[in-house]
Amino acid sequence: MPDPLVLYSTNTVLAYHINHTYYADFHYVWCSPFFGVDNIPSPFYPNPPSSSPQEIYQTLRKDVENSDEHSTKIKLNKNGLRHGADVTHGLSIINDFQRLEILAKIKRARFAEFKPLLYVIPFPLVSGIVKLVPVNQRANPLADEFIIERLPRASFDIINP
Amino acid sequence: MEAITAAAELNGTFYAMRILSEGLSLSEIDVVTTADEYPGTEFSVDEQSFALQLLRRIQSSEKSPLHSLSQTVRSDHISRLASRLDRITSEELFNAGLIESDELSEEALLATAPPATAVSFRFDRPSNKPHIMPLFQFHNVSSLVKIGDTSRPWELSQHVAESSLDSADSILLCVFMTPHQEDFLVCKFPGMRALDDTELNVKGFHTSSQSESLMIRESGISAIEWDRGYFSGYQPFVDRHHDLFITFLRKAREKHNSYVIGHPAYPEANPLAAYSPYPLPITIQKFNEMFGWFSFPSHWSPGSAEFQMWMITQLVEHILETAKKLGVSPGTLLRYLQSR
In the prediction, which pLDDT does A122 show? Answer: 96
In the prediction, which pLDDT does B156 show? Answer: 29
CA distance A110 to chain B (A): 5
Closest residue in A to B9 (Cα) is A83
Contact A70 B39 (CB under 8 A): no
Task: Using an 8 Å CB-CB cutoff, list residues of chain B that contact chain A.
Answer: 7, 10-11, 13-15, 17-19, 21-25, 28-29, 37-39, 41-42, 75, 78-79, 82, 85-86, 89-90, 92-93, 96, 98-99, 103, 106-107, 109-112
Give CA–CA dist B165/B288, Å, rounded: 26
Q: How many CB atoms lie within 10 A of CB B41?
A: 14
Rounded average pLDDT over B182-196: 30
Contact B93 A100 (CB under 8 A): yes
What is the predicted ipTM?
Answer: 0.91
Max avg pLDDT among A117-126, B88-97, B179-188, B276-285: A117-126
Q: How many CB atoms lie within 10 A of CB B11?
A: 28
Angle (CA) A129 A133 A134, round 5°: 130
pLDDT per residue as tens digits for the range A87-113: 999 999 999 889 998 998 898 888 889
In the prediction, which pLDDT does B84 show? Answer: 77
Q: Identify which has the larger pLDDT, A60 or B310.
A: A60
Contact B78 A76 (CB under 8 A): yes
Give CA–CA dist B229/B237, Å, rounded: 12
How far, in whole angstroms, is CA B37 from its chain's centroid? 37
Max avg pLDDT among A110-119, B233-242, B244-253, B316-325: A110-119
Is pLDDT of B302 > 80? no
Mean pLDDT taken over chain B? 49
Cα separations (Å) of B243 from B90, B209, B239, B270?
41, 27, 8, 12
Task: Note whether B315 and B294 are within 8 A (CB).
Answer: yes
Rounded average pLDDT over A125-140: 87
DSSP H helical ranges for chain B: 6-22, 45-62, 71-95, 106-110, 153-162, 197-200, 234-255, 284-290, 305-326, 330-339
Is pLDDT of A37 > 50? yes
Residue B201 has, within 13 A of its CA and on its CB side, a CA count of 7
Helices (H) and strands (E) in chain B, counts: 10, 8
pTM here? 0.55
Three-state DSSP at B289 gives helix
In the prediction, which pLDDT does B232 show? Answer: 28
**pLDDT category, B317, cuts 50, 70, 90?**
low
